[in-house]
A = this chain, B = another copy of it.
C-alpha cells in the first residue's frame, strides 16, 4: 500500500493517521515537537491532543519533514492555519509532481487573507490537491463514529481519488468542485462558533443559538458568493454541517473559548485558557476585513470583531443584533 504523510500531530492529524492506517496505508506523522515524536513512537499516543486514543503500532512520527515525506504518495495537511506556510518549508524543494495533497486545515492566513489551499499553491506551485472538510471532530473519528465529509477539488478525478482513499464503513465521503466554498465555510464557521459559545456563556437559550447559527451561515454564504464560491456549499456538510458540530459539542475549542467570554472572562485570558489554537479568534479579523473589502453586510462577524477589539461589550452586542432594522430573510 502507498505511504501517506500526515503533517501535524494534533487531534485531527492523529485521527486521520489512525483512520488511514486502519485502511491499510503506511502512515508517517510529522510534528516539529520532539516530545510529541517520542510519545507517538514510544506509547503510540498523543495524550495532550487526542488523549485515550491508541494509534496503530505501524504509525511512526518524526520531526524531520524530509524523512516523513520521502516517497510519500499523499501528504495530508493537518496543522493550524497560521503555520501552514511554515510547515511547507521543509518539503518545498523535494517535490514530486505526482504527490497528492489533502488539506484538512481550516482557517484564513492573517494579513494575506489566503485560504489553506491558496497557501499550498503559493508555496508549492500547481500541485494535485483536494480539501477534506465537514462535521468531523477528531475525537469521534478516532472512535469510529459514523461521519460524513466532503472531498473538494477543482479536478473531479482528484476529488474522487480522495473519496476512495478515505471512505470506510463509518466514513462517508461526498465529492464537490467548490474548493473555495469549502475552505471559506471551514474558516469562517469558527467565528460563528465562538459567538455561539458567547451566547451559551451568557445563559441564553437554544432559540438564540439556532438563530445565531442560521443567520451566521447566511452572512458567510453572502460573502462566499461574492468571492466566487457556490452558495449551496455553505448549506452542506462543510458549511452548516460543520457549524452544527462545532456549536453543539464541548469538543469544540471555539465554543469553549466563547463560553468563557460570555461568562465575563476577559477575551485574551479566555482564549489563552483553552491552550490550543482557537481558530475563530484568529479568523475574526480577516473575516471582518473581507466583509469590508467585498462590501458584504456581516453583522454577527462585525459584532464579534467589535467585542474582541473592545468597541462593544457582549450584552450590548446581542441587543444591537436583535434590534436592527426589520428585514426580509433573504434580501
A: residues with CB less than 8 A from B are 134-137, 140-141, 143, 145-148, 150, 160, 163-164, 167, 169-170, 172-176, 204-211, 213-215, 217-218, 221, 230, 232-237, 240-242, 244-245, 248-249, 251, 318-319, 321-324, 326-330
Contacts and interface: CB of A to CB of B under 8 A. Distances in A.
Contact of A146 (B148, B167, B176, B318): B318
A179 to B, nearest CB: 13
B140 A207 contact: yes
A145 B232 contact: no
Given A236-B214, A240-B240, A322 B146 contact: yes
How many copies of this protein are present in the complex? 2
B137 A328 contact: no
Given A211-B146, A328-B174, A206 B169 contact: no
Contact of A328 (B175, B208, B211, B328): B175
Contact of A204 (B145, B242, B318, B326): B145
Nearest to A234: B235
Contact of A163 (B143, B205, B324, B326): B326
28 contacts: A135-B214, A137-B205, A140-B205, A141-B207, A145-B207, A145-B208, A148-B207, A148-B211, A169-B319, A169-B323, A170-B322, A172-B323, A174-B327, A174-B328, A176-B329, A176-B330, A206-B251, A207-B245, A209-B244, A210-B241, A211-B237, A215-B237, A233-B329, A234-B235, A236-B329, A240-B240, A244-B244, A248-B248
